[in-house]
Amino acid sequence: MKREAVQNERDTIVPHQASCTDSAYSEAYIATLLKAEQATHLLRASVITRTADARRTATTCDVTDSMHQQLVLMVEWAKNLTQFLELPMNAQIALLRNFSAQHLVICAGFRSMGVQDAIWLTNDSCLHRDTPAIPDVNRVAARILDHLTQPMRCLHMDESEYVSMKAVALFDPLAKGVESYSTAIERTRQQVLCAFENHVTKVSPYREMPQRLANLLLLLPPMLAIARDLVEDVQLCKLFGLANVDSLMQELMLPEDTETINSTKTECVSISHRE
């Protein structure tokens, strides 16, 4: 690569890193992510139509219901982010499809920090590590508990860090279908990373913990790997009729075609007008 090309690539990133030294800016940026998260909390009551008894053992139906609910909440969260709304609809859908399974995984991991050896689902049921009735899902559940929930607990991850990591995963410039908008998406990701770094190293009460920033970022690779396993499980469930894979799950998680893309546009617009 020519020297000029390298410099041009740096120039797309470096100007936005200057704000990393501005704690007030970084915390204000994270506040916008938290505000979007709060919007999902407000919507949650209307989305969840089937709430389990407090932390009872989840059934297959509970698992699929919870996945649907979380996908609806994901769309709500994303459409409350200004940088997301500035992108055209096709790019928005591409980011959501790329992020959907990761969203399910990181939400399950973070939500389960307060329970032992179980995934606490959105509908308040619990998917225990060794639930015999749902063997395929248990593989994913165990990996979430071992590679996400436990490290999150050990690192004392807070909600600011949680929403920041969600945003880092959402704004992926390598997502399929966003090639024309990758520069803007990368710029947003760098802004999120700056705010995240500032919070972890200067604001968090655990800022003196050795390698904490690095260890938080090291949660992203297992999150992606587990998300891919989850997509495989959903594909198998649909193929063999093992569980109810509804249209929203198919459109956001399974391989796309022209019909799927058009359906996803309709579904996302529908969710946007459900309030």
For 137-158, what is each residue's pLDDT tens digit?
778 999 999 999 999 999 999 9
- Per-range mean pLDDT, top range of 23-32, 42-51, 131-140, 155-164: 155-164
Give Cα separations from 32 to 20, 77, 192, 236, 264 (angstroms): 16, 11, 11, 38, 26
Q: What residues contact 23, with CB distance under 8 A and at least 6 apart? A: 198, 202, 203
pLDDT band at 256 (very low <50, low <70, confident <90, very high): confident
| 9-20: pLDDT as tens digits | 444 444 444 456
Among 247, 249, 71, 82, which residue's Cα sits nearest to residue 171? 82
Query: What digits encode the pLDDT tens for the residues 93-134?
Result: 999 999 999 999 999 999 999 998 999 999 888 988 877 666
Indicate the CATH number for domain 23-272. Answer: 1.10.565.10
Q: What predicted TM-score, i.e. pTM, was given to this entire model? A: 0.85
* Distance, CA of 7 to CA of 12 (rounded, Å): 9
